[in-house]
Amino acid sequence: MIHTTSEALFAKAKNYIPGGVNSPVRAFKSVGGNPIFIKKAKGAYIYDEDDNQYIELINSWGPMILGHAYAPVEEAVKAAIQHSFSFGAPTRKEVEMAELIIDMVPSIEKVRMVNSGTEATMAAIRVARGFTGRDKIIKFEGCYHGHGDSFLIAAGSGAVTMGVPDSPGVTKGVANDTLTAPFNNLAAVQQLVDANKNQIAALILEPVVGNMGTVLPQEGFLENLRELCTKEGIVLIFDEVMTGFRLAKGGAQERFNIMPDLTTLGKIIGGGMPVGAYGGRKEIMDCVSPQGPVYQAGTLSGNPIAMAAGYAMLTYLNEHPEVYTTLEKTGEKLVSGIREILKKLQLNYQINHIGSMYSLFFTDTPVVDFETAKTSDIPRFGKYFHAMLNRGVYLAPSQYEALFLSTALTDEHIQAILQANEESLREIMS
Ligand code: PMP
């Protein structure tokens, strides 16, 4: 595969943009080589500047549940764009969007739109602090909640991929207010709670983790966290930036039937446009300005083009429950196929999978938390990544990410991905 145009663009980009990219994982640093620069995408395919075609398993890191440039979303954007691009004033679509989110996500009673997942999580913990009058938060090692200072402690995703789970530039004061526990370890959480009685405002987690690769909550873990938070007056925040509207219409909370106090949402609700949101129990959300004293604002929040895209996407998902049956079937087909290949090749690599999210970990150790995720053979993953790319399958360029399926994937695509897997795994073993 020729990548000369991408290489030239990357060489130029490095002069003008730190590391040549606007978000770290895109740089292919942990897998080696140069990033491919994307020109366009449609349905299940993405194309680079050298006109190579790839089957998409990143899908803009989640949002393209229906595949790229899905017609109803595209049409909604085209229609909205005729009426200008931003007003910084209330619009009808924002009201409709809020109503739809509240209808779809079981625990949300009131919701505020922002512009990214990062903004959503930063605001959610501020509101939790305002509501409880407490300072500290608990997060889990290897979970990623955007690049807000409070979350760049034992952070997953790009932060761990770049080797900086604890970022320089975060003050000691902020770091001291973020307590961390291993995922799936209730006893560790209980210990933190006991040692910081009446000081913990919020416990935030990805109910299914995507950012240390896919990691599922063990039986009873979410229930126990819910119970503990209720007992201790801690605001339970589900960060559903990746799982919302993907694992079920109402996200992981619907799938596991656990109601958090606050939920953060992101890229998916913009159908790919820059959007985020946070919402939850009325009494907590009513702390937000101008209803309450906790300040949070945004010129572009509720942007009309982003709302049009998001509303079209969510409406489609709401009205077509078969989307979720399709996603489940596609996930099952692909993952069971990969399991068979691993068996045939006598490899004991771990696959974590739920619905339309999965990760193949290059380790024999079951992956249940950050420590076990880190047992993966990263150089081997890098080889696998490039072997797949050369065969026209676009995977996330890091072991510490989930792969996301879309409804645009047909049986032919699945077969092609499986064949690429078998060839790639054979290649890297030899
Ligand atoms: N929370 C989670 C669970 C995420 O996966 C991400 C980004 N992948 C974020 C928050 C941050 O979202 P954004 O990149 O839109 O700021």
Q: Convert the pLDDT of each residue in 136-188 to its tens digit.
A: 999 999 999 999 999 998 888 877 777 777 889 999 999 999 999 999 999 99
Q: Does domain 4-69+321-429 have CATH number 3.90.1150.10?
A: yes
Percentage with pLDDT > 90 across the chain? 95
Taking only the tens place, the pLDDT of each residue in 379-404 is 999 999 999 999 999 999 999 999 99
Best residue among 211, 263, 400 to mutate for probing ligand 1's pocket (most ligand atoms within 8 Å of CB) is 211
Residue 17: what are its φ and ψ, rounded to 5°?
A: -125, 135
Domain 71-319 falls under CATH 3.40.640.10: yes
Q: Reduce the DSSP state of residue 377 to 3 states and report it.
A: coil
Please tell me the distance from the alpha carbon of residue 118 to that of residue 113, in angstroms, as a whole number: 12
Q: Give CA separation, 303 vs 86, 88, 90, 269, 412, in Å.
A: 6, 7, 9, 12, 38
Tokens found for residue 55: 């089957």
What pLDDT does residue 371 have?
Answer: 97
ipTM (interface predicted TM): 0.99
- Find the 423 Cα to ligand 1 centroid distance in Å: 32
Among 54, 70, 144, 384, the one annotated catalytic: 144
* Distance, CA of 181 to CA of 187 (rounded, Å): 9
Average pLDDT over residues 358-378: 98
- The pLDDT, as a whole number, for residue 100 is 98
Is residue 357 pLDDT above 80, yes or no? Answer: yes
Inter-axis angle of helices 378-390 and 411-429, to 10 degrees?
Answer: 130
Residue 56, token pair as written in the block: 């998409």
CB environment 64-98: b (16+ within 10 A), e (fewer):
bbbbbbbeebeebbeebeeeeeeeeeebebbeebb
> What is the token pair recorded at 196?
């910081």
Centre of ligand 1 from the C-alpha of residue 340, in Å: 32
pLDDT at 161: 77
- Determine whether 377 is an active site residue: no
pLDDT cut 70: percent of the chain above it: 100
CA–CA distance from 16 to each of 5, 9, 13, 172 (Å)? 17, 11, 5, 31
| Nearest by Cα to 148 from 127, 180, 163, 126 | 126
Judge contact between 264 and 237, C-beta under 8 A: yes
| pLDDT over 80 at 407, yes or no | yes
Find tokens 């799936």 and name the residue: 184
CA neighbours closer than 13 Å in the CB half-sphere of residue 85:
1
> Which residue has the CA at smallest separation from atom 7 of ligand 1?
146
Mean pLDDT confidence for 349-361:
98
Rounded Cα gap, residues 245 and 243, in angstroms: 6
- In which region does residue 133 sit, left (phi positive, over 0), alpha (psi from -120 to 50) or beta (all else)? left
Look-up: residue for tokens 């009131």?
110
Active site annotation includes 144? yes
User: Strands of 178-181's sheet, edge to edge?
Assistant: 110-114, 276-280, 262-265, 235-239, 200-205, 136-140, 178-181
The answer to whether residue 384 is catalytic is: no
Alpha-carbon distance of 222 to 230, in angstroms, equals 12
Tokens at 80, concatenated? 């909205």
Compute the distance between CA of residue 78 and CA of residue 9 in angstroms, rounded to an integer: 29
Specify the pLDDT at position 158. 79
pLDDT in tens, 23-70: 999 999 999 999 999 999 999 999 999 999 999 999 999 999 999 999
- Tell me the pLDDT band of 420, cut-offs 50, 70 and 90: very high
| pLDDT of the residue at 154 | 85
Residue pLDDT, tens place only, 241-284: 999 999 999 999 999 999 999 999 999 999 999 999 999 999 99
Which strands, in side-by-side order, build the sheet including 357-361? 350-354, 357-361, 403-404
Spans of all domains in the chain = 4-69+321-429, 71-319
**pLDDT tens for residues 288-297?**
999 999 999 9
Q: Judge if the beta carbon of residue 211 lies within 6 A of ligand 1.
A: yes
CA separation, residue 53 to residues 38, 40, 202 (Å): 10, 10, 44
Which three-class secondary structure state does DSSP give residue 224? helix
The predicted pLDDT at position 250 comes to: 98
Q: What is the mean pLDDT of residues 102-109?
A: 98
Residue 109, SS3?
coil
With contact defined as beta carbons under 8 Å apart, do 39 and 66 qualify? no
pLDDT digits (tens, 9 = 90+) for 281-290: 999 999 999 9
Ligand 1 lined by 239 (C-beta under 6 Å): yes
pLDDT at 160: 78
Residues 6+ apart with CB under 8 A from 26: 35, 397
Q: Is the CB of 118 under 6 A from ligand 1?
A: yes
What does the pLDDT read at residue 156? 82
Which of ligand 1's atoms lies nearest the C-alpha of 62? Answer: 8
DSSP 8-class letter at 238: E
Q: Which helix (H) or strand (E) holds 114?
A: strand 110-114
The predicted structure's pLDDT at residue 270: 94
